[in-house]
Structure 1
Amino acid sequence: MNFLTPGMRYMLLGTFLFSLGSLSVKLAGMRVPTTEILFVRGIIGVGLCWYILRRAGVGVFGQRKLALFFRGLLGFTSMLAEFYTIVHLPLADALVLLFSHPIVVALLGWVVLRERLSKGSMVAVLISLVGVTVVCRPGVLFGTGNSMDPFLLGVALLAVLLTSVAILTVRSLAKTEHPAVVMFYPPLFIALLAPIFYGEWVVPTMSEWFMILGVAVFMNMGQYYMTRGYAIESAARISGVSSLEIVFAAMWGMMFLGEIPDVWTVLGGSLIVFGTLVLGKCGRKEMLTPPQGPSA
């Protein structure tokens, strides 16, 4: 994989691990409550980050505590919405929607951070938004029989928005904080807050424990490598790699869940991936092109 930069390799490994974690969420969530799965993920994530930080000789709580606190709260809320979406929608549909976040990141960066967004990037955003519309199949365009459940769609889009804000926060924090410090706060908040949201504890079977532990291990390690990728590479440059989780999700859904994506999911997912790749290519050009100042 010499054609991939180090940051892209980290993102590829992280994306693959995260896709396995998403499959584990789907399998475990057939009976075990979402918040219970989240709680176990949080506990193991705290232990993993503590171990990494101890080996690196880095303090656990970091320097920019207020920003890290905000990152932890975003991590809990976005992951709660993500897990709910993965459990209640077909895996490919869920991941197609959730991994439209590079488009929202680009829009938020343009609106909030005043980052440059070229005409090509705007076209890429429009293509991806069309892809999201195709996957969602709103009743007014496709007929009510084909439309996605409005509540599940709302939860999925909320997860995308929260994840996008979290990524912008990670991009800022990764410049000054160790990747494991940035990782530490979301599982800490998950471990503290998840018990508040679930009612009766469901005792998992042995196979369910295996899946829940898979969620914790795969997603925490995936997040670690993705954070390392963001720390050394532009988000625009590696956004196309992260969109491969859509392909992994479709593959796992067919192999383990018997879920065959319909034509709308394939078409919409293809548009989102294409738009994300174009956005990444435009982002690289924007990085290499110096801002145009006023002529002398």
Structure 2
Amino acid sequence: MNLSLTPGVRHMLLGTFLFSIGSLLIKLAGERVPTTEILFVRGVIGIGFCWCLVRRAGIGMFGKRRFMLAARGIIGFTSLFTEFYAIIHLPLADATAILFVHPVVVAVLAWLTMGERLSAKSMAAVAMSLTGVAVVCRPGFLFGAGGSHLDPLALAVALGGVLFTAVAILTVRSLAKTEHPAVVMLYPPLIITAVSPLFAAGWVNPTVTEWAMLLGVALFMNAGQYFMTRGYAIESAARISAISCLEIVFAAIWGISFLSEIPDVWVVSGGLLIVMGTLIIGHDGPSEQASQES
């Protein structure tokens, strides 16, 4: 039996691991550093990273459909802000489980707006994943006294982030027909760098340790995005979706190891439902360029 991993699986596994470390560093840095400040640093380094990719590809930096690219950048900024906010203000495993449902929302939006196929099996997977989200969030109107004690605002932001991430992916799908991936990746950090100072409620002077965390967020998440993009380019959707599910596992491990966050039975059960729904969607539907979502 050949147990060696294909190049696409190796890229996706490495990208998922690096992305999970970036999420852990967001959580740690966010104990004192504002969300917009973390975003700003990620944006500045992201511009340099994407500029290198653009130069290496020998193409123009700003693309052809600049209005659409700018809109994609704004959506990407909103998606990242909500993601970072949720990671900082919710337990890491809870936030990751909720945010991970975005492939299911992509499938539904693509069915509603683009006429893509959504089979009966996929519709059952959508219901399964949404049930998983309800189990993780445990809203009081459904669970009564057994409802979650998580921050309601953070939960609302996380759910909004799922929607913005899904819209960002659909925007990338449209842009991919005419634009180089490096150009599509460039616009979110451009918008982030320009816009995040406008929303700053008061920035702090990071310590040496916090600077290391901020740089780590940018480096690990950009590198993770790069390897995930390569994985999506050369591997099947079904195999990739299985590997990407490890992001929830990594989040739980980091939460236990570094944050003293022990996932309860609700998070584990809901996370399993979300993972199963995502795997079914991945096996039954087309691949999304999810690694370019932000």
> Is the TM-score greater than 0.5?
yes
Q: What does 1:1-296 correspond to in 2, within 5 Å?
A: 2=4, 4=6, 6=8, 8-144=9-145, 146-147=147-148, 148-232=150-234, 238-283=240-285
Query: Identity percentage over the alignment?
Result: 66
Q: Contact 2:237 / 2:283 at 8 angstroms: preserved in 1?
A: no
Distance of aligned partners of 1:231 and 1:172 in 2 relative to their CA distance in 1, 3 Å threshold: farther
Residues 197-235 of structure 1 deviation map (CA, whole Å, 9 limit, x = unaligned): 113220111111111001110111222233344455665
Map Cα deviations across residues 15-53 of structure 1 (whole Å, 9 max, x no partner).
221111110100000001010010010001001111222
Report SS of the residue matched to 1:143: helix
Q: Which amino acid aligns with 2:79?
A: S
RMSD after superposition? 2.0
Structure 1 CA distance for aligned equivalents of residues 155 and 145 of structure 2: 14
Where do 5+ consecutive residues of structure 1 fail to align? 285-296
Q: CA deviation at 1:65?
A: 1.8
Structure 2 Cα separation of the partners of residues 213 and 54 of structure 1: 23
Residues 63 and 228 (structure 1 numbering): CA distance in 2 closer, same or farther, change over 3 Å?
farther
Gapped regions of structure 2 (runs ≥ 5): 287-294
Give the Cα separation in 2 of the matches to 1:224 and 1:176: 20
2:116 match: secondary structure: coil
Deviations 1:82-105 (A, max 9, x none): 111000000000000001101101
CA distance in 2, matches of 1:68, 1:240: 30
Conserved in 2, the CA contact under 8 Å of 1:73 and 1:189? yes
Query: Matches of 2:230 and 2:265 in 1, distance apart?
Result: 35
SS in 1 for 2:114: coil
Q: Specify the alignment match of 2:290 in structure 1.
A: none
Residue correspondences, number: 284
Deviation of 1:3 (Å): 5.1
**Contact in 1 for aligned 2:89/2:151 (Cα 8 Å):** no
User: Structure 1 stretch 169-178 or stretch 34-43: which is displaced more?
Assistant: 169-178
Structure 1 stretch displaced more, 82-91 or 176-185: 176-185
Q: 1:125 is aligned with what amino acid?
A: V
Calculate the TM-score normalised by the size of structure 2: 0.90
Q: Confirm or deny: 8 A CA contact 1:179 1:228 kept in the other structure.
A: no
How far did 1:66 drift? 2.3
Amino acid at match of 2:99: L
Partner AA of 1:18 in structure 2: F
Asked if the contact 2:96–2:248 (Cα under 8 Å) also holds between the matched residues in 1, the reply is yes
2-structure distance, mates of 1:244, 1:235? 15
Report the Cα distance in structure 2 between the residues aligned to 1:41 and 1:80, rounded to whole angstroms: 11
Residues 22, 218 of structure 2: 8 Å contact kept: yes
Change (3 A) 1:229 1:71: farther
Q: Alpha-carbon deviations, 1:227-267, whole Å to 9, x = none?
A: 34445566566333323211111111111111110110000
**CA distance 1:77–1:43, shift in 2 (3 Å):** same
Whether contact under 8 Å (1:13, 1:222) holds in the other structure is yes
For the 8 Å contact 1:19–1:248, the answer to whether it is kept is yes
Contact 1:53 1:60 in 2 (8 A): yes
- Bigger Cα displacement from structure 2, 49-58 vs 98-107: 49-58
Change beyond 3 A, Cα 1:3–1:47: closer
Q: TM-score, normalized by length of structure 1?
A: 0.89
| Counterpart residue type for residue 246 of structure 1 | I
Matched position secondary structure for 2:285: helix
